[in-house]
Amino acid sequence: TVTRNQDQFTRNNLASLINSAEGVLFVEAKTTYDSSESRRITLSDGTTNNRVSLEFDESVDNKIKAFITLNGATETLEYTAPDLSIYNKIAIKWKANDFAIWFNGSEVVTEAGESRVPTGLTQLVFDGGNGANFFYGEVKQLQVFKTALSDSQLAALTS
């Protein structure tokens, strides 16, 4: 038998495919609870100063977080899901005054009063945006949309 090394994924130079001012990060994934480290999938500028990040939390079983960060100032949305060890469809929407987490067809968290959106997003990584907090799990789908989708589009995407 042979132990396989973990797969790692980073995609740089995506500025033309990512709209920092608004968009959607969508993933269909599963992961198991691990109290040792958060697991993240991130759009960033190569740092944690400007990013949109989905976190599978390390401290609370079945909790997901969305981090939307501009120049180091972060808006955090949190949702405790029924079961993250099965495949779930999760979308993070960001747009000035319109942040949300969609989970399996429903909008579960919103923030309507925050106008800060990240700038200079150029890469998609399976970590926190700075080479730490690597994602461990399985991903069926991963999509990035250049516009903030409508509620009906997000409901269809995540159903």
- pLDDT tens track for 65-108: 999 999 999 999 999 999 999 999 999 999 999 999 999 999 99
Please report the pLDDT score of residue 21 as a whole number: 85
Q: How far is CA 113 from CA 55, 97, 99, 103, in A?
A: 22, 5, 9, 21
The two structure tokens encoding residue 143:
């999509």
pTM of the model: 0.88
Has residue 2 got a pLDDT over 60? Answer: no
Dihedral Cα 141, 146, 150, 151, nearest 10 deg: 40
